[in-house]
A and B are shown apart, each in its own frame.
Chain A
Amino acid sequence: MNIIVCIKRVPDTADVDIVVDKSGKDIEKSGLVFDLNEWDSYAIEEAIRLKERLGGTVTVISMGGEDTNESLRKCLAMGADEAIRLTDSAFSGSDGYATAKVLAQAIRRLPYDLILTGTQAEDDGFAEVGVMVARLLGLPHVSIVTRLELEDRKIRAHRELEGGLEEVVEVDLPALLTIQTGINEPRYVSIMGIRKVAKKEIKVLGLSELGLQAEEVGLRGSDIELERVFLPPVGEGAQMLEGKPEEIAQRVFEILKDKGGLV
């Protein structure tokens, strides 16, 4: 079972005060902590579990600059066998579609039975790259997968729908699945574990090695262009309770009493 996992390195913006940068087209990223996209951590874990059970290899691929090596190494430390980084100045400005073209072109040259991606990325949240890669490669896909079982050359996958409903589908291999959070518990990677793979080679491929034309990728090969970013308009907002914890607690008690929140 040869599995390819596409990953992305993203800034962790939860609980962080985000500021729009001078260009007005992105956020100020200095000082932010970057990590493997949460959805992708579940995808790589799922791939490694399948490999541990069935043998084969896990190859992890990402498009990005040198910083991306950090996330690729994390995946190697988790148990991936090989890592490939796709980088070229021509790739800059790529939207989800252009990114999918680059990833698909790299995957085309590799042997695989299964491709896994996260359902979406924490930063731009397109939720389109995985399915586009599948279509560019002419593969069947299943998105938003919360459970999967392999039998013969088929996968039985649970897809998450709305309101607690799931649908079960069967798909022939080779196929691409986009993985939803919660499908497993991604393993912890120790600093020792990362050190062990520090010298492992990460293969780097650019535009010409991939056989792509500059106009197919980057901004020129994209569907959409970002014009500006801004802080979302704030609604009426909450009435803020301030003071010492005891005073706040007193107010909360009164509100609960008043609004039927005490039984």
Chain B
Amino acid sequence: MKEIMVVAEHRQGELRDITYEMLSKGRELAESFGGTLSVVLLGKGIRALAERLLPRAHRVYLIEDERLEFYNSETYERVLLQFLTERKPHLTLIGHTAQGMDFAPGLAVRLGWPLATDCIGIEPKDENFTLTRQIYGGKINSEVTFLRKGPYLVTLRSGVFEGKEKEPLSGEIVSLPSPLTDEALARRFLQFVEAAVGEVDITQADILVAVGRGIKDGENIPLVKELADSIGGALACSRPVVDKKWLPKACQVGTSGKTVKPKVYIAIGISGAFQHVAGMKGSGTIIAINKDPKAPIFSVAHYGIVGDLFKIVPVIKDKIKELKQK
């Protein structure tokens, strides 16, 4: 019977959402070809997490070792290399996250198994799979298939598949010994660092005015700041604005920044890359201003304005000031 293996992701004592998303998609795939669903957890003192996954899989493999307390690509690779070589699951699902991006490519090389990364769709096709991936910054979708025979490795994009609970499975926990030794590692985990909190906590704001690459220059930021001030909103931004040091990291909305849910979110000159949308799609009302009518931001926004932000934003700001006085 074909087995689907999910590599669970957890950090600082919590299972990450991607784990549930992979289990949910994995179960659907397993049911479609009458296979079984397994999940493997690596760590130290994480039996409670394994128990939480019991209703979600047929088997929960637990590999505990004090050397696995903090994620490290080297230890993960060694443990998974041995584990997957022994189990040979038909398909292994890994998150396309900071963690999965870090170990999956190296693991694929060591195993000699084909890998498809950052997939937003996966459907079985005979013994193979059809995988959907986004290319060109999300403007185009592509369908790819594997050229070599499995076992297959696939990394799934987070936030794409629903991690909803289904009818519980009668899972069992299988504890396995760790193959790690005291052999020295070339890479060592030192510590976690939290990003600095800004003057304004954007996660607490009711109104956010967010600016993106379209603002073209740091000198133009005041234009958007004035609009934010006129409606009593806080200033936020997408990644390129932080990369170019036009606004501090604390203002960044998205996967690697903050997740926000204001009543109103105004996106100005933001194309709507998946990483940004993941951080703001829960906003009450989204208004987007962008010169590209095909910008992905317009498929998540409630209201859209196609045009030059440098022409439209000043008019909106003036109008609001005028109407507020009335």
Q: B-contacting residues of A (Cβ < 8 Å)?
A: 11, 13-18, 20, 27, 96-97, 100, 119, 122-132, 134-136, 140-144, 156, 158-172, 175, 181-182, 185, 219-220, 222-232, 234-241, 245-246, 248-253, 255-256, 259-263
A262 x B139 contact (CB < 8 A) = no
Which residues of B in the span 221-246 have a Cβ within 8 Å of any Cβ on A?
231-233, 239-240, 242-245
Interface of B is mostly: mixed
Q: A-contacting residues of B (Cβ < 8 Å)?
A: 11, 16, 70-74, 96-99, 101-106, 108-110, 114-118, 130-131, 133-148, 186-195, 206-207, 213-214, 231-233, 239-240, 242-245, 249-250, 252, 255-259, 263-264, 266, 271, 284-288, 291-292, 294, 296, 298-307, 311-312, 315-316, 318-320, 323-324
A13 x B305 contact (CB < 8 A) = no
A250 to B318, CA, bound (A): 10
Residues A185 and B116 in contact in the complex (CB < 8 Å), given A227-B145, A259-B263: no
Indicate which residue in A166, A235, A249 contacts B195 across the interface (CB closer than 8 Å): A166
Residues A255 and B303 in contact in the complex (CB < 8 Å), given A123-B135, A132-B106: yes
A230 x B264 contact (CB < 8 A) = no
Indicate which residue in B99, B147, B193 contacts A223 across the interface (CB closer than 8 Å): B147
Q: What's the least CB distance linking A233 to chain B, in Å?
A: 8
A245 to B310, CA, bound (A): 11
What 3 pairs across the A-B complex have the smallest Cβ distances?
A263-B232, A261-B264, A238-B304
A51 to B292, CA, bound (A): 40
A220 to B320, CA, bound (A): 61
B243 x A181 contact (CB < 8 A) = yes
A144 x B299 contact (CB < 8 A) = no
B188 x A170 contact (CB < 8 A) = yes
A17 x B319 contact (CB < 8 A) = no
Q: What's the least CB distance linking B170 to chain A, in Å?
A: 32
The contact sample of 26 A-B pairs, CB cut-off 8 A, is: A13-B136, A15-B271, A119-B101, A124-B133, A125-B135, A126-B117, A140-B186, A159-B98, A159-B102, A161-B256, A162-B256, A164-B195, A168-B191, A169-B72, A223-B108, A224-B144, A226-B143, A227-B130, A229-B135, A238-B298, A238-B304, A246-B319, A248-B312, A250-B319, A260-B264, A261-B264
Q: What's the least CB distance linking A32 to chain B, in Å?
A: 10
Cβ-closest chain A residue relative to B136 = A13
Complex contacts, A162 vs chain B, CB 8 Å: 16, 97-98, 255-256
Complex contacts, B259 vs chain A, CB 8 Å: 163
Cβ-closest chain A residue relative to B189 = A169
B306 x A240 contact (CB < 8 A) = yes
Indicate which residue in B11, B139, B250 contacts A18 across the interface (CB closer than 8 Å): B139
Point out which of B73, B134, B258 has the most chain A C-beta atoms below 10 A from its C-beta. B73
A144 x B98 contact (CB < 8 A) = yes
A156 x B148 contact (CB < 8 A) = no
Cβ-closest chain B residue relative to A174 = B186
Complex contacts, A241 vs chain B, CB 8 Å: 303-305
B115 x A128 contact (CB < 8 A) = yes
B105 x A20 contact (CB < 8 A) = no
B284 x A260 contact (CB < 8 A) = yes
Complex contacts, A182 vs chain B, CB 8 Å: 239, 242-245
A120 to B162, CA, bound (A): 26
A15 to B294, CA, bound (A): 8
Cβ-closest chain A residue relative to B284 = A259
Complex contacts, A181 vs chain B, CB 8 Å: 239-240, 243
Indicate which residue in A18, A129, A219 contacts B136 across the interface (CB closer than 8 Å): A18
Complex contacts, B318 vs chain A, CB 8 Å: 249
Q: What's the least CB distance linking A184 to chain B, in Å?
A: 10
Complex contacts, A100 vs chain B, CB 8 Å: 105, 109
B102 x A131 contact (CB < 8 A) = yes
Indicate which residue in B105, B117, B141, B231 contacts A232 across the interface (CB closer than 8 Å): B141
B301 x A232 contact (CB < 8 A) = no
Complex contacts, B266 vs chain A, CB 8 Å: 261
Residues A128 and B117 in contact in the complex (CB < 8 Å), given A172-B186, A224-B147, A232-B138: yes
Q: What's the least CB distance linking A134 to chain B, in Å?
A: 7
B110 x A165 contact (CB < 8 A) = no
Indicate which residue in A17, A230, A246 contacts B141 across the interface (CB closer than 8 Å): A230
A164 x B296 contact (CB < 8 A) = no
Complex contacts, B139 vs chain A, CB 8 Å: 13, 18, 231-232
A261 x B231 contact (CB < 8 A) = yes
Residues A135 and B106 in contact in the complex (CB < 8 Å), given A140-B74, A181-B239, A259-B285: yes
Residues A127 and B96 in contact in the complex (CB < 8 Å), given A13-B139, A237-B299: yes
